[in-house]
Chains A and B, each alone.
Chain A
């Protein structure tokens, strides 16, 4: 059986490689649960000897002890922000949810108008939308910053949300999918006297569910992990999302290894929600990617 032996043998290095994929995650996990003295010990422990939650909240910490073997836990930091680290989690969740719901609504409306209604000029509009996808988004970064500054939206939820609502890619994807919905359904609804808004919401949207699910996952993920735009518009700690808060933790603490348990704890809390969502909706993820080639 020459055929079955080779693939099995050839896979062993790949299985090992698969395990090394986990090493960074594992290293984050152990660091987040090590007390400071163990964290900075040489050689490092590969299983925390004395697992603790100090990195999240250290009951023995008082501000007088600063600089000794005790550092403030994650939820004891950002004292000038009401809610501390929890506020960043709220900001991330709120912004990602708002952008996902609103951008999908707007994009599906636009996609309906572009596919199911005989609009003069719609071909040109669609070509412009597709062409815009060729330009890297960073090209519009500086003017958008100036626009948001002039609107007085720096450091605000509007600044996060409004510029992120026009997603050409989502319209493109939904148009592709909507074309596969038979026009007869729409015609039949029109004959029955339904208006366009009603047909969009009652007839077409329910049939769009798989496409909407794929796009929702894609947008939520991208917004939850969004960094460069928030980095530019956020001025005070209280408006930071999780990635920006992580970056600020890094900037002020990364030169002292004692703080890395806290940094890893924050990284853990930032990555855990998306990993859990991925594990639950895995089928939608991979199908959406295979269908459209979304960058995850």
Chain B
């Protein structure tokens, strides 16, 4: 009986499993192997041990730059996005048409092509005097700025893009989390004379902790994988990282090494470094949350 069903069962699993192994498990194994080789895609890979990782983490200044940029960008983007998403969720959690329109509005960037969005920002921050950003600062008497050609402005611009693009997504999750908090908690707090702030501080925030952890970790993961914004907005003639690599981050660097310089072994080492960074940061985040919960 059991075996009679096992055959169709395996047959049903087979198409997915074959593709899963062929285009995910096998490539991952390959990628791990490439990371320890010197490989240009034409000649067979030659094994070099941990040389790629040693060079990457201890000698490569561009990788150091990509790493620092990534951490600064991720810290700023995730903090601002999460805080704003929470504020928006508290303000617009209701079922009135006004709240629903606001939620729709904030969510729009999440469904819009990242390339289209990046091009819009490129147009807003154009160096020309008639660009929107330059026009707006002109109203308060500031001279036009070479937005995209000023290295110190690269990360701030990318953070603005990330917050604009990401707060609606966090907001939707926070709204779901807020609406799951039992109303009785608030009622008994009000009976005890708790102010709106006290209710937020002592009920809403603690109850939202799992949701917050979830939002923070998913934002962290996607922020570390940023590519399109850098590639489109800060695209230069010769490099993918913007002026003086001011916007170079992990995935753009991976793309640069792998698909413009064809150092596939080295690029694979970058890919696994990306995995390690995301994994470690997520684990730290989980530990911190757990520790905070036990306080």
B-contacting residues of A (Cβ < 8 Å)?
3, 6-7, 10-11, 14-15, 18, 21-25, 27-28, 31, 40-44, 106-107, 109-110, 112-114, 117-120, 125, 128-129, 132, 134-136, 138-147, 162-163, 165-166, 168, 171, 195-197, 200, 221, 224-225, 227-228, 232, 242-243, 246-247, 250-251, 254, 257, 260, 263-264, 266-268, 270-271, 274-275, 277-279, 282, 285-286, 289-290, 293, 295-296
Contacts of B155 in A (CB 8 A): none
> What CA separation (Å) do A162 and B22 show in the bound complex?
10
Secondary structure class of chain A's binding surface, majority of residues: helix
CB of B111 within 8 A of CB of A18, answer no
CB of B111 within 8 A of CB of A27, answer no
Secondary structure class of chain B's binding surface, majority of residues: helix
CB of B235 within 8 A of CB of A251, answer yes
CB of B9 within 8 A of CB of A132, answer no
Check A117/B6 contact, CB under 8 A, given A146-B41, A168-B20: yes
CB of A135 within 8 A of CB of B275, answer yes
Partner of B23, one of A18, A24, A166: A166
A-contacting residues of B (Cβ < 8 Å)?
2, 5-6, 8-10, 12-13, 15-17, 19-20, 22-28, 30-31, 34, 41, 87-88, 91-92, 102-117, 119-124, 126, 128-132, 135, 138, 164, 168-169, 172-173, 175-176, 196, 214, 218, 221-222, 224-225, 227-228, 231-232, 235, 251, 254-255, 258-259, 264, 267-268, 271-272, 274-275, 278-279
> What CA separation (Å) do A70 and B19 show in the bound complex?
49
Contacts of B267 in A (CB 8 A): 142
> What CA separation (Å) do A1 and B122 show in the bound complex?
47
CB of A109 within 8 A of CB of B130, answer no
A sample of 25 cross-chain residue pairs with beta-carbon separation below 8 angstroms, ordered by A number, consists of A3-B196, A15-B102, A22-B105, A23-B132, A24-B124, A25-B112, A107-B16, A110-B13, A110-B16, A117-B12, A119-B6, A134-B279, A135-B28, A138-B225, A143-B26, A143-B27, A143-B28, A143-B31, A147-B23, A166-B20, A254-B122, A267-B115, A275-B112, A290-B173, A293-B218
CB of A14 within 8 A of CB of B268, answer no
Name the CB-closest residue of B to A197: B8
> What CA separation (Å) do A156 and B227 show in the bound complex?
24
CB of A140 within 8 A of CB of B31, answer yes
B134 to chain A, nearest CB (A): 9
CB of A295 within 8 A of CB of B16, answer no
Name the CB-closest residue of A to B84: A17
> What CA separation (Å) do A145 and B106 show in the bound complex?
36
CB of B114 within 8 A of CB of A43, answer no
A16 to chain B, nearest CB (A): 11
The 3 closest A-B pairs by CB, nearest first: A143-B27, A290-B176, A267-B116
Check A271/B19 contact, CB under 8 A, given A40-B128, A195-B8: no
Partner of A117, one of B5, B106, B120: B5
Partner of A275, one of B106, B108, B124, B268: B108
Contacts of B231 in A (CB 8 A): 247
CB of B173 within 8 A of CB of A293, answer yes
Contacts of B92 in A (CB 8 A): 14
CB of B169 within 8 A of CB of A139, answer no
CB of B31 within 8 A of CB of A142, answer yes
> What CA separation (Å) do A254 and B175 show in the bound complex?
39
Partner of B275, one of A22, A136, A246, A295: A136
> What CA separation (Å) do A61 and B189 show in the bound complex?
70
A207 to chain B, nearest CB (A): 17
> What CA separation (Å) do A264 and B104 show in the bound complex?
22
CB of A21 within 8 A of CB of B105, answer yes
CB of B255 within 8 A of CB of A197, answer no
Contacts of B175 in A (CB 8 A): 290
> What CA separation (Å) do A221 and B274 show in the bound complex?
25
> What CA separation (Å) do A142 and B109 show in the bound complex?
29
Contacts of B27 in A (CB 8 A): 140, 143-144, 147
CB of A196 within 8 A of CB of B5, answer yes
Add 17 more A-B contacts to A27-B132, A166-B22, A228-B251 (CB < 8 A). Answer: A14-B91, A21-B105, A42-B128, A107-B16, A109-B15, A112-B12, A119-B10, A136-B221, A139-B28, A142-B31, A162-B23, A163-B23, A166-B16, A166-B20, A257-B128, A263-B119, A267-B115
